[in-house]
Amino acid sequence: MVIRSEALGCGAYLPERVLTNQELATLVDTSDEWIRARTGIIERRIAAEGELTSDLAVKASEAALAASGVTPDEVDLIVLATATPDYTFPSTATTVQARLGMDHGAAFDVQAVCSGFIYALATADNFIRAGQAGTALVIGAETFSRILDWTDRGTCVLFGDGAGALVIRGAECPGASSDRGVLSTHLHSDGRQRDLLYVDGGPSSTQTVGHLRMEGREVFRHAVTNLAAVVNEALVANGLEPDDIDWLVPHQANQRILDATARKLGMPAERVISTVARHANTSAASVPLALAEAVEDGRIKRGDLLLLEAMGGGFTWGASLLRW
């Protein structure tokens, strides 16, 4: 028997304010047609003034805990992925811990930009399998609107705000690929590619928050190659074929990247969860937001095999196979 991290439930939260492509076209030299054709994005959500990453994270966490039938007392680990924390410190995770009324366990942030949720899931899964945690709350939460250069049409049209959360709990099982839980996680990074996607500020360098900078075309090229490789790695590690996957739950950067990854896997569009049209790229929040939407609307059912994958600044990228 082995310990595996079983998914108990998930939840999501999106800020109320909707920013459409048409509205963006009044701010920068762009058009609804260009944004839709190049990215698939129609609109995105923007956090209200004073609404912080932790506020989004708490709402998503409360929804995930309710869906799981788990109280904060039962959680002994919070791993929160974000590149847009409330403050330089303390971590946004400890703010969430306090807001959930927890006075026990451990909480910390992980920073892997858009791959953050996969990194957070891998971290929590390893804590659980090592016996160091029993029940973990894994969160992806972002307010990317706060680090965008709203005069740069090449980047400001691509991102949005939101949060998603997942509750996982260690349970013994024989360890077959048909058993529920996280089958495996696979993480990679390559710091040499830093200049293709970065934020031009930070506490130690400029003492400012900075703005997101990106070579979009280059990022696109690397994303398609790296995602195909890590997805294949996850399948091979578990002796599985693309046909075994019920749902691809990808990071929502661009519909064209989603389509390219699905094509490489030979997966039909109907088995790919896509939320990029309404959410845009919410960085670390995008995978759990997509997951929560498809669980909520009944597409993802207990026992389904999910392939989660993401690629982000760093570069970082990763994948996980999860039997729901």
Residue from 5, 21, 39, 252 in contact with ligand ACO (CB under 6 A): 39
Give phi and psi for 96, each to the nearest 5: -65, -45
Site track for ligand ACO across 230-249, x = CB under 6 A:
--------------------
**Amino acid code (one letter) for 115:** S
d(CA 164, CA 220): 24
95 vs 283, which CB is nearer to ligand ACO?
283
Q: How far apart are CA 283 and CA 269, in angstroms?
A: 22
Selected from 63, 227, 253, 262, the binder of ligand ACO by CB under 6 A is 253
Residues 180-199 touching ligand ACO, rule: CB under 6 A, are 197
Closest CB 314 distance from ligand ACO, rounded Å:
8
Alpha helices in the chain (DSSP H): 21-24, 32-39, 53-68, 92-99, 116-129, 153-156, 216-237, 255-265, 276-279, 286-296
To ligand ACO, the closest distance from the beta carbon of 130 in angstroms equals 28
Phi/psi region, residue 105 (left: phi>0; alpha: psi -120 to 50; beta: rest), is left
| CA dist 323 → 6, 17, 167, 204, 295 (Å) | 8, 34, 14, 41, 13
Sole binder of ligand ACO in the list 56, 283, 294, 324 (CB under 6 A): 283
Active site members: 114, 251, 281
101 touches 71 (CB < 8 A): no
Q: In angstroms, give the least distance from the CB of 224 to ligand ACO.
A: 9
- Residues 211-230 within binding reach of ligand ACO (CB under 6 A): 214, 216-217, 219-220, 223
For residues 166, 169, 175, 181, the Cα torsion angle rounded to the nearest 10 degrees is -20
Q: What minimum distance in Å lies between the beta carbon of 232 and ligand ACO?
A: 20
The only residue of 90, 134, 154, 201 in contact with ligand ACO, by rule CB under 6 A: 154
From candidates 100, 157, 273, 307, binder to ligand ACO by CB under 6 A: 157
Count CA atoms within 13 Å of residue 56 on its CB side: 38
Residues that bind ligand ACO (CB under 6 A): 30, 34-35, 38-39, 113-114, 153-154, 157, 197, 214, 216-217, 219-220, 223, 253-254, 257, 281, 283, 312-313
